[in-house]
Amino acid sequence: MKPVSVKEGDYVTLHTDREMRNNDLIVWRFGPENTLIAEINVVNSSVTVNDDYDGRFRGRMKVDHQTGCLTIKNTRIEHAGRYELQINRMKKFFIVTVNGVFDDDDDEIMKSAMEGDSVILQADSEMENDDLILWQFGNYLIAELNKTANNITVNDNVLDGRFRGRLQVDPQTGSLTITNTRTEHTGFYPMQTNHVKKVFILSVYSPLPVPVIFCYCPQSSSTVSRHVLLCSVLNASQATLSWYKGNSLFSSTSVSDFSISLSLPLEVEYQDENTYSCVLNNSFTEQTQHLDISQLCYTCSDSFRGCGTVEAVIRLVATALVGVAAAAAIVVLVYDIRSRRAEQY
């Protein structure tokens, strides 16, 4: 999720952060309806720009044929909103705000939530008897509280029911609660009463995968007690993978584009008594996997040279980590096991 701000009348570019590849299908969508506004099919060498979508983008959109980046020029207030970038099966979201989209005296409040959590958009005031509170998602009315009529109306069937069963309005304060959030709930939530106008900008993040640690003994190792540990994650993007020795950063690698897998090696002695952990994090959250060398790895002089024997191979394959480093670990380990079995016979 990336917030982008632009001054009304200027241009804004939404970046893919990588060069296009031979089999890419790049799709750009806009707004609560996820309306298709641009598509690049590298296989068919085709570029489609749907700038006639209700006329707001007409003559304003340009797609870079090398990177797939989307540029919108001469921006207007109607161009503010949620943009979805999909490259093959990977997704990335942008929240674009256009200076001038709200009145200067309107409050703009940024909110973040992890997918599956609940989030409360606070009205921050006790209601008066004549108060009418309206909640919108983009231009869609999703909830209304009429204090005079002592009535609450929830329109949770809008946009194909993405809010169905998820909206609650506090009858005392008028605050809006969204339960079991999903990334599709990212966007603008204008709130208006008789006295106050606010705009909440909500970003809902998908949880990061938990790193998985694998162990093997290099064929070229000069000592039988040395191991190479490989920490890997699947479907990592806009994240950093790091090894920590105790509380100190030992090594790290990061990815800014869409990546199938991310891996980071670490070489240690079997008798190493230091504590190690592998951490995957972004600006919002993190996932940690702690290392127990004695449980994960056998000594390289054991009857099956390698670590974790067959179980490690099964675990590695089952998690579908297809990075080059992970694949190399499998090859070395399987070859080692077969060689030892052959020697026994």
- Encode pLDDT of 211-233 as tens digits: 888 876 655 545 556 678 888 88
pLDDT exceeds 60 at position 60: yes
Q: For residue 146, what are the β-bridge partners?
A: 132, 151
User: Can you give the residue ranges of every domain in the chain?
Assistant: 2-99, 107-205, 212-344
Tell me the whole-structure pTM to 2 decimals.
0.60
Q: What are 122's two structure tokens?
A: 């606070």
Tell me if residue 184 falls in helix, strand or coil. Answer: helix
Q: What is the DSSP letter of 106?
A: S
- Residue at 68: amino acid letter: G
What pLDDT does 72 receive? 93
Would you say the C-alpha torsion 252, 90, 206, 113 has a positive or negative sign? positive
Least confident of 79-83, 109-113, 267-271: 267-271
Compute CA distances 122 → 70, 109, 176, 190, 198, whole Å.
34, 10, 7, 12, 10
Angle of helix 324-344 relative to helix 309-318, nearest 10 degrees? 150
Q: What are 35's two structure tokens?
A: 């309306």
**212-344 CATH:** 2.60.40.10
If we measure between CA atoms, which residue out of 63, 32, 238 comes closest to residue 142? 32
What kind of fold does domain 2-99 have according to CATH? Immunoglobulin-like (2.60.40)
What kind of fold does domain 107-205 have according to CATH? Immunoglobulin-like (2.60.40)
pLDDT exceeds 70 at position 106: no
Fold identical between 107-205 and 212-344? yes
Describe the chain by its helix, strand, coil percentages, rounded to 5.
15, 45, 40
pLDDT tens sequence across 17-43: 888 888 888 999 988 777 899 999 888
If we measure between CA atoms, which residue out of 292, 288, 250 comes closest to residue 270? 292
φ/ψ region of 81 (left if φ > 0, alpha if ψ in -120 to 50, else beta) reads: left
pLDDT band at residue 310 under the 50/70/90 scheme: very low
Tell me if residue 331 falls in helix, strand or coil. Answer: helix
Q: Calculate what percentage of the chain has a pLDDT beyond 90.
A: 11
Residue 66 and residue 40 in contact, taking contact as beta carbons nearer than 8 Å: no
Place of tokens 């077969």: 338
pLDDT exceeds 80 at position 260: no
Least confident of 67-71, 115-119, 339-343: 339-343
